[in-house]
Amino acid sequence: MFVSDIKRVVEQVSRDRGIDREVLIRALEEALRSAARKKFGNKLDIEVQYNDESGEIEVFQFMEVAEEVDEPAVQISLEEGRKLDPECEVGDSLGTKMDATTFGRIAAQSAKQVIIQKMKDAEKDAVYANFIDRKGEILNGIVQRIDRSDIIVNLGHTEGIVPSREQVPRESYRRGDRIRAYILDVLHESRGPQIVLSRTHPNFLIDLFRTEVPEISEGIVTIMGASREPGVRAKIAVASNNSDIDPVGACVGMKGSRVQNVVQELRGEKIDIIPWHLDPAKFVCNALAPAEISRVIIDEDNRSMEVIVPDEYLSIAIGKKGQNVRLASKLSGWHLDVKNETRYSQAMQIGYDSLVALTGVGIGLADALYESGFYSAEEISRATIEDLIQIRGIGEEKAEKLLEAARNAIAQSETETNSETHPETAANNEPGEEETAPQTSEEKTAGIEDSPQPDQPTDKAESDNKID
């Protein structure tokens, strides 16, 4: 029967399909054990072993030696047992070899199914091993079908999938169309490896440039980053380690030939090629081009920048629906707040006025605070005494008073804002209830509302003298 062919089949499948020989043998043993249980039931104690010399899978049935046989299927009498083993005793387990051919069609079918399944598993593993190291590459395929808005791509020996989230919104494909995509991920699932492809990932854009620009593949020009709004616009930052090579010009190519090839592959997506700069402020200015930048205020703690542009360049800097500043922010890794000069000047004036309004702060002291980078009362409230005493004309005592005045002013402002937001709360407060509030709070509020008076020259003169 099939047993005589097992050794030959094992060797052939192991060689042709690359399946581990031991794995195949273990699987065949389990298949024959399952066939035996189907034919004789689960009560039988059956052991299956592969005999490497004969090339057969041997099946043994183990039975318990008993004085009285109650279950003939699993027990054997002492008399019968001693015919097999003269030294056996009651309670021993005796194994007898079964004729595997008696399993007939069931065993043969089980062995066939095992071999087929192992071949399929080996093919899946081979596909996975082939693609797992190719993550991040671009490959070509043919659209096989559209499945619930997902594109199924024929890759030759296997299929890939372009999920709807990884498709460019304005692109459409039909069966038989050629498609290029980026290998985003390779998943090892029970039904087989799944090759996840993408046409929207920024690295797809980077790899396209790497293919088109020899200087990039040679390492002369480096792509420092990329950001995309797929199908609409993209920005890519480049740098060169050779002063004689213009990284932007290398990517553009003669008469724009190189960048146009990339644009064609991306179905018309506009691409801005930006020179990278080590200084983040200068890099952001490059990223916001063609808008002109007046000044950049950096907040390293929050990794944000306040970008000031001339009034006529505000719309250019922001872009259509905020597209330009959004892409520049993704590319640089900084949060960008773009303002025109008029709005910035107004904000600065409001901040300066809040400084002058603080108790004990005159024009001279306000100018000193402003020049030291404290542009509003709110910024003063977040400062420390150590920060303030660094300013000329401010000692420790005055710094403490200044901090108290600023914090009181901010507290009052928040209270007024809450009252405006929830007027019903303020209306419900009776005059008698207000009188029960701590007197110190009222005194502080009164102190904040008082602005420097002309008939109080002492503080102002003191401040002016110290500043000057």
**What per-residue confidence (pLDDT) applies to 253?**
92
User: DSSP H helical segments within 61-180, as ranges?
Assistant: 78-84, 104-132
What are the φ/ψ torsions at residue 85 (nearest 5 degrees)? Answer: -145, 105
Q: Where, residue-wise, is CATH 1.10.150.20 in the chain?
A: 357-467
| 27-41, 76-90, 147-161, 350-364: least confident range | 27-41
* Region for residue 366 given its phi and psi (left: phi exceeds 0; alpha: psi -120 to 50; beta: otherwise): alpha
Q: Identify which has the larger pLDDT, 255 or 432.
A: 255
Q: Is the pLDDT of residue 413 over 60?
A: yes
Q: Tell me how far apart the alpha carbons of residues 187 and 163 are, in angstroms, rounded to a whole number.
A: 14
Above pLDDT 70, what percent of the chain?
Answer: 81
- Cα-based angle 149, 151, 154 (whole degrees, multiple of 5): 160
Give pLDDT, residue 102. 62
| Average pLDDT of the residues in 178-185 | 93
Q: Where in the chain is the domain with CATH 3.30.1480.10?
A: 2-128
Q: Is the pLDDT of residue 293 over 50?
A: yes
d(CA 187, CA 191): 10
Whether pLDDT at 45 is above 80 = no
How much is the pLDDT for 427?
47
Residue 189: pLDDT above 60?
yes
Which 8-state DSSP code applies to residue 452?
A: P
CATH architecture of 2-128: 2-Layer Sandwich (3.30)
How many CB atoms within 10 Å of residue 452?
A: 20
**pLDDT of amino acid 445:** 34
Task: Give yes or no for residue 93 having a pLDDT over 90.
Answer: no
| All CATH 2.40.50.140 domain ranges in the chain, comma separated | 134-198
**Residue 386 CB burial class (10 angstroms; 0-12, 13-18, ≥19):** exposed
The pLDDT of residue 202 is 94
pTM of the model: 0.62
Q: Which residues pair with 45 in a beta bridge?
A: 62
Rg of the chain over CA atoms, in angstroms?
41
Q: Decide which of 274 and 435 is more confident.
A: 274
Closest CA to 251 of 286, 221, 285: 221
Question: What are the C-alpha distances in Å from 7 to residues 18, 28, 30, 103, 115?
Answer: 16, 11, 16, 18, 13
Q: 357-467, superfamily in CATH?
A: 5' to 3' exonuclease, C-terminal subdomain (1.10.150.20)
CATH ID of 134-198, from 2.160.10.10, 3.40.50.2000, 2.40.50.140, 3.30.479.30: 2.40.50.140
Which is higher by pLDDT, 401 or 177?
Answer: 177
Question: What is the C-alpha separation between 426 and 430, in angstroms, rounded?
Answer: 9
